[in-house]
Amino acid sequence: MLHFVPEAGKAVAEMRRVVRPGGVVAATVWDHLGGMPGMRMMVDTVAVLSDGGRQLRARYCTQPMMQPGEMKRTFVEQGLRDVTETQLMIRMDYQNFDDYWAPIAAGEGPLGKYVATLDPEERVRTDDAMRDAYEAGRPDGPRSFANVAWACRGIVA
């Protein structure tokens, strides 16, 4: 959630404040810029289609706490000790394009909220472009995307 908080440093400071000495503060944030190819496929595709898509990509890919070392620096700056940062990787598997696209098309998450704002013509163009991107010249079917999150933990002094 830290990448959705306007002042992430203050959020980390508050987590530190409410945890007893010796307790652990931890957070995990998806790497939208370079670690989520399935979602980047969408934001890069819509960026080609419209100004609104370019704005979405700029917001989505530059949220706080997603750059290497950024969360760790923030944890240290907020007085946590023995701070470590690592990457976690999971695979997101989809049976077909509809399995991938249905949650986004239904308005889920920040990408779905963007899709919900499209007028009918833009929506058709986006749906078609996304299907083309997902299929990548192959028949529709299963796809698997490796996704990376940054994880950070520190101890309250």
Q: Domain of 33: which CATH number?
A: 3.40.50.150
pLDDT value for 6: 83
CA 28 to chain centre: 11
Place of tokens 């749906």: 127
What is the four-CA torsion angle of 128, 133, 135, 138, rounded to 10 degrees? 120
Q: What is the pLDDT along the chain (157 residues), one digit of tens a residue?
A: 788 888 999 999 999 999 999 999 999 999 999 999 999 999 999 999 999 999 999 999 988 898 899 999 999 999 999 999 999 999 999 999 999 999 999 999 999 999 999 999 999 999 999 999 999 999 999 999 999 999 999 999 9
pLDDT value for 3: 86
- What is the rounded distance in angstroms from the CA atom of residue 2 to the CA atom of residue 73? 14
Number of domains in the chain: 1
Give the residue from 32, 35, 109 showing the smallest Cα distance to 64. Answer: 32
* 92: containing domain: 2-156
* Predicted TM-score (pTM) of this structure: 0.85
> Does residue 4 contact residue 29 with C-beta atoms inside 8 Å?
no
Give the residue from 36, 16, 35 showing the smallest Cα distance to 26. Answer: 16
pLDDT value for 1: 79
